[in-house]
Structure 1
Amino acid sequence: MNRLSFPVLALLLFAVSPLSGADVQIPVIKDGEAQIIKELEDSDYWIRHDLWVETEFDLDGDGKPDRMHVAVTRPTQTDTQSLKLPVIYNSSPYFAGTTGDDETYFWDARQELGDEPPQRSAAPAIEREGTRPIISKRHVKDWLPRGFVVVHSSAPGTGLSQGCPTIGDDPEALAPKAVIDWLCGRGKGFTEPFGGEPVEAYWSSGKVGMTGTSYNGTIPLAAATTGVEGLEVIIPVAPNTSYYHYYRSNGLVRHPGGYLGEDIDILYDFIHSGGNEETQAYCDCHVRDETMKPNQDRATGDYNDFWSSRDYLNRVDGVKAAVLMAHAFNDWNVVPEHSIRIYEALKKNGVEAQLFMHQGGHGGPPPISMMNRWFTHYLYGEDNGVENDSKSWIFREGDERTNPTAYPDYPHPWAKDVLFYPVAGAPERGGLQMEPAQEASAETLVDNFSFSGEALAQAEYTEHRLIYATPKLSEPVHLSGTPRVKLRIACDRPAANLSVWLVSLPWNTSKHSKITDNIITRGWADPQNIESIRESKPLVPGQFYDIEFDLQPDDQVIAKGQQIGLMIFSSDRDYTLHPTPGTKLTVDLQQSQLSLPVVGGIMSFEAED
């Protein structure tokens, strides 16, 4: 029985192909980059067609290997001149449409810590976008005129691809692997989702590069972890490299910025656009309800095997392709640790890797010239020296996006950890100094999710946070790396949220200011997971515990005249669960500290006022 609902079309293989195409030189390479070829800018001379590539898995339970819907856009010359060209490949679960901005089915963040959450509402149906054969037009105008074939595919369980969404599990790596195998002559392609005539990628050189942003950037990394032959280079932009790190933080239930109440089962519903009613019901039952909901654990936020299987750091040893990671230090949707942790692992494994980072928010690819050098080198074999370029490229504050600053590596090799110790000052502002306080002191805050982090950081007087600041900086201070806090805390209840921000003070309140002007970085943790990320242990009220954890990585220059502030509070209104206000956290200041990665180390602070 046909499980895939789609219009019956007379032509399942659609192509636009003129009778003849001008003979042109492909590629044209100058200064190490593939140049735009005028003849290839005319879309009338592109060939477009779609097909289905067979995978090695059967997610929808019909007893047949699932097939992925694939769309190809290539120059006419691949036929008229029998050219074999390299491929830029982009895969996504979003191409066919999503549930959109309707967040009424998200989990309610108003939940007591440790309690099972109340049931959520059912997700609205997805109205599928787009029609065959064009899955997407992204990347075509950038790369086809430069002499590349551009291929798109819909992820499992989305659009006209068969199967179910599994959100980060094996099939999301095996699906693009199957497409790459087909592009390299090893896989099976067909004109139809069931049966059909074989389709070969005779126009492919067997060299494939992948890129994409966010989920579309996760998939290239997933494919690369399989070690599939022919995938030569990937450029993931803001990739989600671990779904635990996306939805949890050090044992704490934490939501991605802008999506309070989202969790992995919500994302499943958000993208599940494929199949008919029967296959959708099968996937909902076996994947979402029997696998995701019981294992995502919104009560404790603990790590488990379910989350481990969706962490690409555990699979990074399989990566052979060269990797240009791209991310933003102020991305609070997919936080920057997602790329930094993979970059560091790739370096240890000897994989050719570089890092492009900027100061903006979610998304933002490297300059196209940089991407071009990578694709031209690894897909066309041009000896342009890209592998010898600087390892780290950072778009500095106030600079043009196309002109990132080159550094030997990230973190900056000159960065050294400098320790700071809090000095009492609550409910106003205390100090941060480089020597521990001589006398024991402790300060208490009262949890209340009603107040945003921004409001707490700006408040002159409040019991809902503790804040400690350095003296004003007499010179700019360059932070590069991962700040870390060590706190000795006690709580009057068995559970509490713990949130920490680093901020630049005074707060910029001008009408042109952005949140990124003042928030240096952030971090969250569950004090119940001090001993193990896999097992929560209720706190003994009144007992002090030592908790130590990383904040998000950063590379930022804090301006002269500013102060660096450490803010400690409990529930972070935009990110954590919202328990009933009133929980009290007490911090032992003498046994607490902040470690900052400072370029130049302690010498950078010696001239402070």
Structure 2
Amino acid sequence: MLRFLFDRSNHRVVCLAIGSFFGAVTASGDEPAVPVFKDGEAQVVKAFEDSDYWIRHDLWVETEFDSDGDEKNDRMHVSVTRPRQTESEGLKLPVVYVSSPYFAGTGDKGQQYFWNPRQEVGAEPPEREHFPAVELKGTRPIISKSHVKEWVSRGYIVVHSSSPGTGLSQGCPTIGGDNESLAPKAVVDWLYGRGKGFTTPDGDEPVVADWCTGKVGMTGTSYNGTIPLAAATTGVEGLEAIIPVAPNTSYYHYYRSNGLVRHPFGFLGEDIDYLYDFIHSGNEARREYCDCEVRDKEMADGMDRVTGDYNDFWAGRDYLNDLQPLKAAVLMAHAFNDWNVVPEHSVRIYEALKAKGVPCQAFFHQGGHGGPPPMKMMNRWFTRYLHGIENDVEKDPRAWIVREQDDQDKPTPYEDFPNPAASPVTLYLQAGAPEQGSLSMSPSAKQGTETLVDNFSFDGDALARAPWTEHRLIYVSDPLTEPVHVSGASRISVKVASSKPAANLSVWLVSLPWTEGKKTRITDNIITRGWADPQNHRSLTEGEPLVPGQFYELSFDLQPDDQIIAKGQQIGLMIFSSDRDFTLHPTPGTKLTVDLDATSITLPIVGGESQLRDALSPAK
């Protein structure tokens, strides 16, 4: 195995081999180990594969910001894993870089630390209890072993760093603040040869990355997938490519939806200040300062759990607003049934990147949160942009979608997402409450209004299955005589009145009949969902209390999707109020009345109106 030390004479990390291993390699006359490529992909190289001979060391990289108020620029804790040949043979390699707030441990997941969702919509929330400080975990010099096996053996160096205010990194967590973009930028600057690295968090002994070619790629999942995008928005030279997997690209879109307080699936009551507490694993000496300035001032003033409006606080944590400097090649990855970080997070960025003209592709699958592209896709992406091998990856189809019954490593290529052959088709509502109404491609004679009564006690699955209930309105198409392919974002236009000044509004698009018992696929019945606050019918930034009984018109997109709805199924539009797994839980009894003649749903159908009309025609 290898040991490492710091050589003060030339400010480099060097390694010592036990015995005369390096001498034996030289004497044997073996060819120097170098990356190997075949069919446009980096291959596993035997000389890089043995982890006993990898060099591991850590350091601190100085940033350009002071987020913890100690009047010194914060330093980020960084660890490096690289093949021994970067020392013994002077080999220079590109870097795969992963940054995270989770590496050093996280806080208690107990529900008692979430915000209590049992409150009225538009009211001041009850106080939230902050959980105890996170217990720091981890052993130097290794911050994480993620991605190491896959990439070091293929001729890359793998670098990890803890984000500000976590682990041994200095600074404050800000959950999407500027320092979380500038921290990975500083690491890329150091890898490129511009930035400053040191052996200790407070010393002045430098470390240089002279084993790096200066080309860096980033990847990671969820928060770890957000950070690559954050770094790329700085336009930092040397960050050539990123592969964000299920990234949170806007904290507003994570914790709010069209003006409504909406929680990520599985974390009912979580909000941005809870996530701050959850990741704040470092910097004990500056914890009081960080809590006061970030959580108790900036977040408390800006997050607004009363109105749910979009404001400057949320705009500053929306990476769509920061894309102008971005120039890295981007391979987005997301799941259409990710109800934690919903799919619009990647789709909205992907659409903007296409318009911007940077190299970009998208991989989508039908599962839940997480799920990277197949290794072949990632390998080709990094091979092209980090090693500079002309493998024509930029000429590949733009969109890769795992079809409903396929393995996740076998996506189907498409010209783009949404499918260019999709066009909007509008369906209209026909009365039927409290049972099922109908969906039709043609508006019917005057249908009037129908009313539902809010009750968060019933979850969406139960409401969709129910043959008769006053707690939702549901409108269902005829059975499909052939499959229908939906690709893109469905959009609802609804005219609604509330019996109270504020109310939740939830919409599901479902496939019926409901699959009973154990599901075989997560996509069995829920096509897509959406949520909105009728108080924001005019403006996302300035909601206004509703006049009880007065009708308001609003339109909003449901989550983007690409799904083939099977022959024999029916398409159902369900309108209800409180979505038990996502929204606040006001006292049951609020009434929502929908004007059916002014309400419709527009679906992006591959093949357009003629295709859907054929599918809804009686079987021949």
Which of 224, 229, 234 matches 1:216?
Answer: 224
Contact 1:15 1:49 in 2 (8 A): no
Contact 1:161 1:274 in 2 (8 A): yes
Partners of 1:235 and 1:75 in 2: how far apart? 23
- The residue aligned with 1:7 is none
Which of 545, 548, 572 matches 2:552?
Answer: 545
Partners of 2:112 and 2:325 in 1: how far apart? 39
- The residue aligned with 2:28 is none
- Aligned ranges for residues 372-521 of structure 1 at < 5 Å? 372-521=379-528
Which of 521, 532, 536 matches 1:525?
Answer: 532
- The residue aligned with 2:43 is 35
**How far apart are residue 100 of structure 1 and its match?**
4.0
Q: Secondary structure at the match of 1:233?
A: strand
Q: Secondary structure at the match of 2:397?
A: coil
Which of 144, 148, 151 matches 2:159?
Answer: 151
**How far apart are residue 372 of structure 1 and its match?**
0.3
2:218 equivalent to 1:203: no
Aligned length: 599
2:407 maps to amino acid: E
2:441 maps to amino acid: M
Q: Secondary structure at the match of 2:494?
A: strand
**How far apart are residue 25 of structure 1 and its match?**
2.9
- Aligned ranges for residues 14-93 of structure 1 at < 5 Å? 17-18=16-17, 20-21=21-22, 22=25, 23-93=31-101
- The residue aligned with 1:190 is 198
2:144 equivalent to 1:136: yes
Q: Secondary structure at the match of 2:546?
A: coil
Contact 1:483 1:597 in 2 (8 A): yes
**How far apart are residue 216 of structure 1 and its match?**
0.2
Partners of 1:154 and 1:591 in 2: how far apart? 52
- The residue aligned with 2:186 is 178
- The residue aligned with 1:328 is 335
Q: Secondary structure at the match of 2:184?
A: helix
Cα deviation 1:108-142 (Å, max 9, x = unaligned): 00011111111111213212121111000000000
**How far apart are residue 45 of structure 1 and its match?**
1.0
- The residue aligned with 2:262 is 254
Partners of 2:386 and 2:189 in 1: how far apart? 16
Partners of 1:103 and 1:586 in 2: how far apart? 34
Contact 1:15 1:48 in 2 (8 A): no
Cα deviation 1:387-406 (Å, max 9, x = unaligned): 00000000111112211000
**How far apart are residue 212 of structure 1 and its match?**
0.2
Partners of 2:205 and 2:548 in 1: how far apart? 69
1:306 maps to amino acid: F
- The residue aligned with 1:356 is 363
Contact 2:108 2:131 in 1 (8 A): no
Contact 1:447 1:464 in 2 (8 A): yes
Contact 1:55 1:174 in 2 (8 A): yes
Q: Which runs of 5+ in 2 are unaligned?
A: 26-30
Partners of 1:514 and 1:472 in 2: how far apart? 20
Partners of 1:512 and 1:417 in 2: how far apart? 30
2:581 equivalent to 1:574: yes
Partners of 1:150 and 1:534 in 2: how far apart? 42
Partners of 2:16 and 2:326 in 1: how far apart? 37
2:136 equivalent to 1:111: no
1:71 maps to amino acid: S
Cα deviation 1:512-536 (Å, max 9, x = unaligned): 4455310000000000001111111
Contact 2:605 2:612 in 1 (8 A): no
Cα deviation 1:64-118 (Å, max 9, x = unaligned): 0000000000011011111110000000000000014323111000011111111
**How far apart are residue 20 of structure 1 and its match?**
4.5
**How far apart are residue 17 of structure 1 and its match?**
4.7
From the superposition, tell whether residues 194 and 560 of structure 1 become closer, same or farther in structure 2 (CA, over 3 Å): same
Identify the range of structure 1 (35-44 vs 172-181) with the bigger mean alpha-carbon deviation.
35-44
Contact 1:20 1:80 in 2 (8 A): no
1:434 maps to amino acid: M
- The residue aligned with 2:561 is 554
Cα deviation 1:369-390 (Å, max 9, x = unaligned): 1100000010111010000000
2:107 equivalent to 1:120: no
Contact 1:17 1:47 in 2 (8 A): no
From the superposition, tell whether residues 20 and 204 of structure 1 become closer, same or farther in structure 2 (CA, over 3 Å): farther
Sequence identity percentage: 68
Q: Secondary structure at the match of 1:516?
A: coil
Partners of 1:511 and 1:150 in 2: how far apart? 41
- The residue aligned with 1:5 is none
Identify the range of structure 1 (12-21 vs 76-85) with the bigger mean alpha-carbon deviation.
12-21
**How far apart are residue 26 of structure 1 and its match?**
1.3
Contact 1:191 1:199 in 2 (8 A): yes
TM-score, normalization by structure 1: 0.97
2:421 maps to amino acid: W
Which of 281, 284, 288 matches 1:281?
Answer: 288
- The residue aligned with 1:3 is none
Partners of 2:413 and 2:124 in 1: how far apart? 48
Partners of 2:519 and 2:361 in 1: how far apart? 33
Cα deviation 1:179-211 (Å, max 9, x = unaligned): 000000000000000013100000000000000
Partners of 1:84 and 1:44 in 2: how far apart? 20
Contact 2:433 2:473 in 1 (8 A): yes
**How far apart are residue 15 of structure 1 and its match?**
7.3
2:187 equivalent to 1:164: no
TM-score, normalization by structure 2: 0.95
**How far apart are residue 11 of structure 1 and its match?**
8.6
**How far apart are residue 24 of structure 1 and its match?**
3.5
Partners of 2:595 and 2:51 in 1: how far apart? 67
Q: Which runs of 5+ in 1 are unaligned?
A: 1-9
Contact 1:373 1:386 in 2 (8 A): yes
**How far apart are residue 440 of structure 1 and its match?**
3.6
